[in-house]
Structure 1
Amino acid sequence: MVEDKKYEENDSELVDEELVVEDEENVTEETEENTVEEAEVDETNEASSSDEAEELKMALIRLQADFNNYRNRVNKEKAQMIRFATESLIEKLLPVLDNFDRAIESCVDNPSIAEGFSLIRADLMKTLEAQGLEEIASDGAKFDPNLHNAVVMEDYDGESGIITETFQKGYKLGDRVIRASMVKVSK
């Protein structure tokens, strides 16, 4: 029996050694599996970080484009408001120009007063021209319904469609007519 015990003891040692070897193999396999899983997680994290960085980059580009569009729209609206305010003021000053023309015509017998009115009108017109105002050519010009308003038609020996007399001067602001000329046109 002593031998049996020895054998049993030896047997248990063998079993223990086998368990240790199996445990070491399991630990090695688990470590390798964990390392592979960690590498996959790292790759996934890198891929998601790369995707996230790309999404943020695209969001920034869209945001910059939206801001540029907003800035352009605001600048365009501001320019339109300035143009509208300028046009409104000039339209209110056109009767003043007409009154200067009438005053100059009525002072035919007093040239010094007519000259004074002419100088004042010229200064006012110079200021308005700096803002883009142009007088529409009328006397002797070909009638253009976009620029002229025919209030009288008369028989004329010369070419038809020619403006023979201007009743009220017309003006353009840039390329926009703000007041058409009132004219007499030959038939």
Structure 2
Amino acid sequence: MSDTSPTPEQQGAGAPEAATAPAASVEQQLAELQAKHTEVSDAYLRAKAEAENIRRRAEEEISKARKFAVESFAESLLPVRDSLEAAIATHAAQPDASAETVLEGVHATLRQLISALERNKVLEINPAAGEKFDPNVHQAISMVPADQEANTVVGVLQKGYLIAERVLRPALVTVAAPK
């Protein structure tokens, strides 16, 4: 049996040229990969910093929105307060003002209040008699015998209100009892 593997002398022949070419190529590849790694790392750090800045700005916006959410609503109620204060001042200056004049001022103030509420999407829930009872927006206080279909509104004890289509307060109603 003969050994066909190269001898150490045969291995050494031509080996330095072959070893230096791949070594130079490997070093070049390593340098390219390190440069690419540096570039990708830099891009990652920039993207991470940008994401953190966006998150921080969003948190600040949310905080401001919560803090000043009622600003518009409060601003629309200020004329109502002014009218009430003017009515009190008028009554103090003219205690003998007629009931008709006072009532006229109260109605004007109520119109201001209704307008302010509507501008801020606060809508009234005031079901008509005979309207079907809706537990989502009505709260039944009692069931009474009535000459109308069962489970319909007989009367409203207190109006309810929606704010942006969400129940702020349900309407308190009496409901027709089953016959």
Shorter-chain TM-score: what band?
A: 0.5 to 0.7
Could you say what secondary structure the match of 2:40 adopts? helix
- Map 1:13-24 to 2 at 5 A: none
2: CA distance, partners of 1:61 / 1:175 = 40
The structure carrying a bigger helix percent of its residues is: 1
Q: Give the fraction of aligned pairs with identical amino acids, expressed as a percent.
A: 22
1: CA distance, partners of 2:176 / 2:112 = 34
- Map 1:64-103 to 2 at 5 A: 64-76=50-62, 78-80=64-66, 82=69
Per the normalisation by structure 2, the TM-score is 0.60
Q: Is the aligned partner of 1:138 residue 2:124?
A: no
* 1:78-114 Cα shifts (integer Å, max 9, x gaps): 445526x969xx9xx9xxxxxxxxxxxxxxxx55543
Query: Is the CA contact 2:126–2:156 (under 8 Å) kept in the aligned structure 1?
Result: no
1:60 to 38, 46, 51: 46
Per the normalisation by structure 1, the TM-score is 0.58
Could you say what secondary structure the match of 2:44 adopts? helix
Structure 2 partner of 1:127: 116
Structure 1 partner of 2:149: 159
* 1:2-56 Cα shifts (integer Å, max 9, x gaps): xxxxxxxxxxxxxxxxxxxxxxxxxxx9899778645533331111111221233
> Which has the larger Rg?
1
Segments of structure 1 that go 5 or more residues without pairing to the other structure are 1-28, 94-109
Structure 2 partner of 1:184: 174
1: CA distance, partners of 2:151 / 2:64 = 41
| Amino acid in structure 2 at the alignment position of 1:150 | A
Segments of structure 2 that go 5 or more residues without pairing to the other structure are 1-14, 81-98
Structure 1 partner of 2:103: 114
Q: CA RMSD in A?
A: 3.7
* 1:115-140 Cα shifts (integer Å, max 9, x gaps): 33221111012112212211113232
Shifted more, 68-77 versus 169-178: the winner is 68-77
